[in-house]
A and B are shown apart, each in its own frame.
Chain A
Amino acid sequence: MKPLREVGIIGYGAYIPRYRLPAAEVARVWTEGHAGLPVEEKSVPGLDEDTATIAIEAARNALARGGIAAQSIRAVWVGSESHPYAVKPTSTIVAEAIGATPQVSAADWEFACKAGTEALQAAIALVGSGMTDFAMAIGADTAQGRPGDALEYTTAAGGAAYIIGPREHSLAYLEGSYSYVTDTPDFFRRPYQHYPEHGGRFTGQPAYFKHITHAVEALLQELGYTPGDFAAAVFHQPNTKFPQRVAQMLGFSKEQIRVGLLAPKIGNTYAASSLLGLTAVLDEAKPGDRILLASFGSGAGSDAFSFVVTDLIQERQRLAPTTQAYIARRKPVDYALYVRYRRKLQMH
Chain B
Amino acid sequence: MNVPRYWRSERTRYGLVGEICRSCGKPIFPPRDVCPHCTDEGQDVHPFGGKGQVYSFSTVYDAPAGYTEYQPYTVALIKLDEGPLVTAQLTDVDNEAVHIGMPVEMVTRKIKEEGENGLIIYGYKFRPVLESKSSRPDRF
A–B direct contact (CB < 8 Å): yes
Name A residues whose Cβ lies closer than 8 Å to a Cβ of B.
Answer: 17-18, 46-50, 52-53, 56-57, 84-85, 93, 96-99, 283-284, 314, 318-322, 324-326, 328-329, 331, 347
Known: A96-B14, A325-B134, A347-B69. 17 other contacts (CB 8 A): A46-B92, A48-B111, A48-B125, A49-B109, A49-B110, A52-B122, A53-B109, A57-B107, A93-B14, A96-B10, A97-B122, A98-B15, A319-B132, A320-B132, A322-B133, A325-B133, A326-B130
* A-B CB contacts (within 8 Å), total count: 72
B56 contacts the other chain (CB 8 A): no
A85 touches B15 (CB 8 A): no
Q: How far is the CA of A47 from the CA of B69 in the complex (A)?
A: 8
How far is it, in angstroms, between the C-alpha of A321 and the C-alpha of B89 when the chains are bound? 22
Residue of B10, B14, B92, B108 contacting most chain A CB atoms (<10 Å): B108
**A321 to B136, alpha carbons, bound, how many Å?**
12
Residue of A nearest to B111 (CB): A48
B131, A325: Cβ atoms closer than 8 Å: yes
- Chain B residues lying within 8 Å of A18, measured Cβ to Cβ, are 92
B87 within 8 A of A: no
Interface residue ranges, B against A (CB under 8 Å): 10-11, 14-15, 47, 69-70, 89, 91-92, 94, 107-111, 120, 122, 125, 130-136, 138, 140
Decide if A99 touches B47 in the complex (CB within 8 Å): yes
CB distance from A140 to the nearest CB of B (A): 13
Please report the C-alpha to C-alpha distance between residue A328 and residue B134 in the assembled complex, in whole angstroms.
Answer: 10
> Complex formed: what's the CA distance from A61 to B131 in Å?
13
Q: Which 8 A-B pairs have the closest CB atoms?
A: A322-B134, A97-B14, A48-B109, A48-B110, A18-B92, A56-B108, A321-B130, A321-B132
Whole-angstrom CA separation of A347 from B69 in the bound complex:
9
Beta-carbon nearest neighbor of B110 in chain A: A48
Most A CB contacts (10 A, CB to CB) among B10, B91, B125, B134 go to B134
With both chains docked as a complex, state the minimum distance between the C-beta of B14 and any C-beta of chain A, in angstroms.
4
A50 to B108 Cα, complex, angstroms: 11
- Please, how many angstroms separate the alpha-carbon atoms of A46 and B43 in the complex? 36
> A318's contact among B10, B70, B132, by CB below 8 Å, is which?
B132
In the assembled complex, the Cα of A55 lies from the Cα of B132 at a distance in Å of 18
List the A side residues contacting B107 at CB < 8 Å.
53, 57
- Pairwise interchain contact A53-B132, C-beta atoms closer than 8 A: no
- Of the candidates B69, B122, B130, the one whose C-beta lies within 8 Å of that of A53 is B122
Smallest CB gap from B124: residue in A: A97
Contact A53/B134 with A46-B91, A84-B120, A96-B14 known, Cβ cut-off 8 Å: no
* Closest chain A residue to B93, Cβ basis: A18
Residues in A whose Cβ lies below 8 Å from that of B10: 96
Out of A17, A52, A97, name the residue touching B15 (CB < 8 Å): A97
What's the least CB distance linking A337 to chain B, in Å?
A: 13
Chain B residues with CB below 8 A from A322, complex form: 133-134
Closest Cβ neighbor of B130 among chain A residues: A321
Q: In the assembled complex, how far is the CB of residue A141 from the closest CB belonging to chain B, in whole angstroms?
A: 16
